[in-house]
A and B are shown apart, each in its own frame.
Chain A
């Protein structure tokens, strides 16, 4: 039960996304800008060693292929770049060289992921399409083919099936879908699976609506690829067994989750607006929320260092400066003019969770697919945290609701 490793990469800006290299000595992050920063680990600290500047709008997603050591980035400028290290002719140092990818999309690129074999990648976009990109050696560039039908809105996330062919996508039209992204020149014919047998490009192998009409923020295949999990903005997590066929939905009493990853075939870690990574576990017979990797109660009782509103009710997410400002204004007629001396001292608060704001991304950090032992999260608070997945703080049947139930909603 090792405590989480917490690194503050930035004080002021969010970490939009993060991707570690294969041996976890370096991490590429976007601090909500058009630059990609590469940090190298030095003991317990991270130092910027490289800045990738080619995008001219905020970078939305980064993925680092572990074996081929290539980075792919996507941004709001509708472009994606593949970055490869090569020696600089003058100095001989290794430098990252970008290659532009012809995506053929007319809206922002929102999310990018390498396929398991690292010979393709998928770029989700606001153009109601997913670009499946593969390398064309004759033209010496990355070409894309678009998955369009039947996507009706922005695609927010994608995840590859281990067979390198199937792709799951979560979208703002409130659906999670499973597509075939079969490319003739790249892929061998995939073996039949629970998702289907004949899989030409753009075959729709499954379409699942979020239970109460929320955007589907995060999707993930289980390690075997036979189960799909997705988190949506109606504060729910859905697990789909297509072979079953069974669909399990967990409606939660807390704010929505936006990102999730499988640690074993029977457990999922998901995080989002509630600022803590939650652990779900189950199997074909049913699923439930079992706990959190964070322990807000013990963080609170450890006192001193985490002062905040320790005396007030333990209110989790709503104990924020903005909420208190509003409550003071509503109840006591105290209005804090932003920038006035009292505003910061009297209303600043700290959450009892490790992350102080929404978690934007959770990814496997240590272990092999099917037995992930540690995961990493990055958040709007500028923190990068590495968690031991065995350190689960159990949540009773009423735990989460009970904690939030003490909120002062007057």
Chain B
């Protein structure tokens, strides 16, 4: 028996199908522009980190984070920049850093944590770091933050 019937795109037979693009406003930037911005941010983050300004670095990465289907390259680079910040932060500093973030930034951080945990192979590299941040972030921003990471279609 063909078990892949769930993967059949039944919406193709529905003239009035609800498309993903109707559910959220697309990222206004084109892929090249998004990638460019992320690269600039990565450089700014390095300089912030060298000054020890973790909150500033995180805010940079989390503000206007690229989202949507067309900007994969920019999304991945931004994730790498973010993880470099997470890795370089001492566990004892995490609660203070998370508290200093805005609610929107906390929501975006939660999205990146789940994205990181979902990537194949990443569990071995930075799994414990991601889980540590997840624990602290949930303590401060609550389950509502997790719910928003799940519902939001603007996938980072």
Contacts and interface: CB of A to CB of B under 8 A. Distances in A.
A247 interface: no
A153 B140 contact: no
A212 B152 contact: yes
Contacts of B16: 128
Interface in B119-143: 134-135, 138-143
B23 A255 contact: no
B74 to A, nearest CB: 20
A39 B18 CA distance: 42
A251 B144 contact: yes
Interface in A315-359: 317-318
Contacts of B151: 212-215, 233-234
B140 to A, nearest CB: 6
A409 B138 contact: yes
Given A213-B152, A213-B154, A234-B152, A153 B18 contact: yes
B147 interface: yes
Contacts, number: 78
Interface size of A as a range? 20 to 34
A404 interface: yes
A173 B23 contact: yes
A215 B148 CA distance: 11
Contacts of B154: 213
A80 to B, nearest CB: 24
Interface residues of B, number: 23
A204 to B, nearest CB: 16
B23 A401 contact: no
A62 interface: no
A307 to B, nearest CB: 24
B80 interface: no
Contact of B139 (A234, A235, A317, A407): A407
A252 B140 contact: no
Given A152-B18, A409-B138, A213 B144 contact: no
Majority SS of interface residues in chain B? helix
A406 B138 CA distance: 10
A255 B153 CA distance: 18
Contacts of A405: 138-140, 142
Given A213-B24, A234-B151, A235-B148, A400 B138 contact: no
Contacts of A256: 144, 147
Contacts of A407: 138-139
A174 B16 CA distance: 17
A213 B153 contact: yes
B22 interface: yes
Most chain B CB atoms below 10 A, which of A253, A401, A407: A253
Interface string B9-22: 00000001010001
A252 B147 CA distance: 10
A106 B126 CA distance: 50
Contacts of A212: 107, 148, 151-152
Contact of A251 (B18, B24, B103, B135): B103
B18 A235 contact: no
A234 B24 CA distance: 14
B145 interface: yes
A385 interface: no
B147 A255 contact: yes
A153 B151 CA distance: 16
Given A215-B151, A251-B103, 19 more contacts: A152-B18, A152-B22, A153-B18, A173-B23, A212-B151, A213-B23, A233-B151, A234-B147, A234-B151, A235-B144, A236-B148, A253-B142, A253-B143, A253-B145, A254-B143, A404-B139, A404-B143, A409-B134, A409-B135
